[in-house]
């Protein structure tokens, strides 16, 4: 379907009713821009993360993973420049005191909240680091920060990883985990939140090789997007202008996506030079120098950083997968079918087992099938409502295959498999189901 017709209202409503994502702390009236991933959301998110980890860590000999502490020594954030410079320009309406990011609103226009014009304060720098205190004292000596990116641990852990893993440059480290930013204006569902998840890679190269690896990683990012089903036609590269580069970057390309609320950042790819390893060496007093075992050349490796947001991936995947089509319904009349056309690898439920009726003779056959297949794939078992409605529900949550157990199954020991995309049905012997599905996934 034409993607301009896919609205955020449709996605947010489907996400809530089907249990992908719903407002956090909902029964207490929610908490501004906090979202919980429900039973299907957590499966989808896990599948996205597993695909990423498989593709960028397990399938490569030049990559290793880490899982670092979320709260790091505060000196890390002084060295990285976050304490001094990780900020956005903030303005406040002098009438209603609503706060905005100065670069996201028209300062000449009236305040969106109270409607008064020309009442904004001058922009002030607002640090986005999420602060806390470690231990029983709430004073300056106990201040710590929730990490605003997963990246820094991979620089700080560089000496331990290189000696324990015996990797040689070029090689990379990967990490998936939560990050926190005290965003001034979070919004657009899970696009910008204060608590989110990142999947980041720091790829260490010889300084003279950075351009080659930059291009290689840009291509790899698109391969990942294809693998999880992000629409390439809606994705674009933005070469970040020199005067807008982050303090650590010599070159950044943002991959942007056409969301219903506009073309905005999905991922970032940065050439971070030796900025991070060198500043951590300076601030910590450690000697972070790599010696090439073949040439004995000593140098500080340079870094290419592909950075992926998990939540934005999930949003782009939902938007890319969403489809509506008019079909003759299984119950006879014309019908609009909502389908999430997920790639099989990331679909939250792979197979739905649907006995035609709740009668015990059918569940006696259907349940053991569900239990046997659940050893390999995420399976849903649903025996209520008409079969047509159950097919529609599975289409809406993107289940690639439905298995219907009917009264004939008692005789012919076979079931009907329905394909989500083609809606074609095939009769398959129960004894062959496992082999049949192994060919599909």
Q: Which residues bind ligand GAP (CB under 6 A)?
A: 149, 151, 181, 183, 192-193, 196, 198, 200, 265, 267-268, 305, 307, 309, 311-312
Nearer to ligand GAP by Cβ, of 198 and 416: the residue is 198
191 is in an annotated binding site: yes
**How is residue 185 annotated by DSSP?**
S
**2 labeled part of a ligand binding site:** no
Query: Minimum distance from CB of 309 to ligand GAP (Å)?
Result: 2
Tokens of 369: 């099938």
Query: Residue 21 Cβ, how far from ligand GAP at the closest point, in Å?
Result: 13
Peptide bond into 170 cis (omega under 30): yes
- Tell me: is residue 407 an annotated ligand-binding position: no
Residue ranges in 197-328 assigned as alpha helix (H): 210-228, 275-284, 310-321
Measured from the CB atom, the residue of 272 and 420 that comes closer to ligand GAP is 272
SS3 labels along 13-28: HHHHHHCCEEECCHHH
308 is in an annotated binding site: yes
Determine the residue with CB nearest ligand GAP. 309
Shortest distance (Å) from residue 268 CB to ligand GAP: 4
Q: Is 149 annotated as a binding residue?
A: yes
The b/e string for 226-255 (b: 16+ C-beta within 10 A; e otherwise) is: ebbbbbeebbeeeebeeeeeeebbebbbbb
For ligand GAP, the closer CB: 155 or 322: 155
> Any idea which residue has 């020991």 for tokens?
413
Residue nearer to ligand GAP on the CB measure, 181 or 393:
181
199 marked ligand binding residue: yes
> Which residue, 274 or 434, has its beta carbon nearer to ligand GAP?
274
Q: Does the annotation list 305 as a binding residue?
A: yes
Closest by CA to 75, choosing from 155, 174, 21, is 155
Q: What are phi and psi of 280, to 5 degrees?
A: -65, -35
Nearer to ligand GAP, 43 or 183 (CB): 183
- What lies within 8 Å, CB to CB, of 395 at 6+ separation is 337, 338, 339, 340, 420
Do the Cβ atoms of 86 and 149 come closer than 8 Å? no
Nearest CB to ligand GAP, comparing residues 203 and 267: 267
With residue 162 as reference, give the H or E element that holds it: helix 158-165
User: How far apart are CB 395 and ligand GAP at their closest, in Å?
Assistant: 29
Taking the complex as a whole, the smallest distance from the CB of residue 193 to ligand GAP amounts, in Å, to 5
Q: Was 294 annotated as part of a binding site?
A: no
Q: How far apart are CA 211 and CA 139, in angstroms?
A: 46
Residue 356 Cβ vs ligand GAP, minimum distance, rounded to whole Å: 44
Helix boundaries (H) for 252-356: 275-284, 310-321
* Least separation in angstroms between CB 253 and ligand GAP: 11
Number of neighbours of residue 379 by Cβ within 10 angstroms: 19
The verdict on whether residue 202 carries a ligand-binding annotation is no
Residue 18 known to bind ligand: no
The DSSP code sequence of 30-63 is --TT-EEE-HHHHHHHHHHHHHHHIIIIIT-TTE
- Beta bridge mates, 102: none
**95 neighbors 116 (Cβ within 8 angstroms):** yes
148 vs 400 by CB, closer to ligand GAP: 148
Q: Within a 13 Å sphere around the CA of 318, how many CA atoms are in the beta-carbon half?
A: 31
Kindly state the smallest distance separating residue 311's Cβ from ligand GAP, in Å.
5
DSSP E strand stretches across 93-170:
99-101, 124-127, 130-133, 143-146
How far does Cα 64 stand from its chain's mean position? 20
- CB 312, min distance to ligand GAP, A: 4
**Residue 103 labeled ligand binder:** no
Q: Which is nearer to ligand GAP, 312 or 390 (CB)?
A: 312
Q: Identify the bridge partners of residue 176 per DSSP, sorted by sequence position.
A: 199
78 in a labelled binding site: no
Known binding-site residue numbers: 101, 149, 181-183, 191-200, 265-266, 305-312
Residue list, annotated binding site for substrate:
101, 149, 196-200, 305-309
Which residues are annotated binding-site positions for ATP?
181-183, 191-196, 265-266, 309-312
């Amino acid at each position: 379907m034409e993607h301009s017709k896919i609205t955020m209202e449709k996605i947010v409503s489907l996400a809530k009713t089907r249990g992908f994502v719903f407002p956090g702390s909902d029964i207490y009236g929610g908490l501004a821009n906090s979202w919980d991933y429900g039973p299907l959301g957590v499966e989808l998110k896990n599948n996205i993360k597993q695909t990423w980890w498989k593709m960028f860590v397990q399938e490569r000999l030049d990559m290793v993973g880490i899982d670092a502490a979320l709260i790091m020594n505060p000196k890390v954030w002084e060295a990285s420049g976050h304490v001094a410079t990780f900020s956005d320009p903030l303005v406040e309406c002098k009438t209603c005191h609503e706060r905005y990011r100065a670069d996201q609103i028209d300062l000449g226009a009236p305040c969106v909240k109270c409607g008064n014009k020309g009442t904004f304060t001058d922009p002030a720098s607002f640090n986005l680091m999420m602060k806390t205190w470690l231990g029983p004292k709430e004073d300056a000596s106990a201040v710590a920060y929730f990490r605003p990116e997963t990246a820094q641990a991979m620089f700080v852990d560089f000496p331990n990883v290189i000696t324990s893993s015996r990797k040689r440059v070029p090689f990379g480290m990967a990490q998936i985990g939560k990050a926190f930013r005290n965003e001034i204006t979070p919004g657009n569902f899970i696009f910008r939140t204060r608590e989110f998840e990142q999947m980041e890679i720091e790829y260490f190269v010889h300084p003279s090789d950075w351009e080659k690896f930059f291009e290689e990683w840009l291509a790899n990012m698109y391969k990942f997007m294809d693998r999880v089903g992000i629409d390439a036609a809606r994705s674009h590269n933005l070469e970040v202008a020199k005067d807008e580069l982050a303090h650590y970057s010599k070159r950044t390309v943002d991959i942007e996506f056409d969301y219903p609320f506009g073309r905005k950042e999905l991922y970032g790819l940065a050439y971070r030079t030796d900025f991070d390893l060198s500043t951590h060496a300076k601030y910590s007093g450690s000697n972070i120098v790599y010696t090439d075992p073949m040439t004995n050349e000593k140098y500080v490796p340079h870094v290419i950083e592909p950075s992926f947001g998990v939540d934005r991936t999930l949003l782009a995947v939902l938007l890319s997968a969403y489809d509506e089509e008019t079909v003759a319904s299984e119950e006879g009349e014309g019908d609009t079918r909502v389908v999430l056309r997920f790639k099989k690898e990331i679909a939250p439920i792979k197979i739905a087992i649907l006995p035609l009726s709740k009668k015990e003779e059918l569940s006696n056959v259907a349940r053991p099938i569900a239990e046997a297949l659940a050893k390999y794939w995420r399976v849903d078992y649903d025996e209520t409502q008409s079969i047509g409605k159950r097919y529609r529900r599975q289409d809406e949550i993107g289940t690639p295959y439905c298995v219907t157990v009917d009264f004939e199954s008692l005789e012919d020991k076979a079931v009907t498999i329905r394909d989500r995309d083609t809606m074609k049905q095939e009769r398959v012997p129960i004894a062959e189901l496992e082999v049949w599905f192994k060919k599909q996934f």
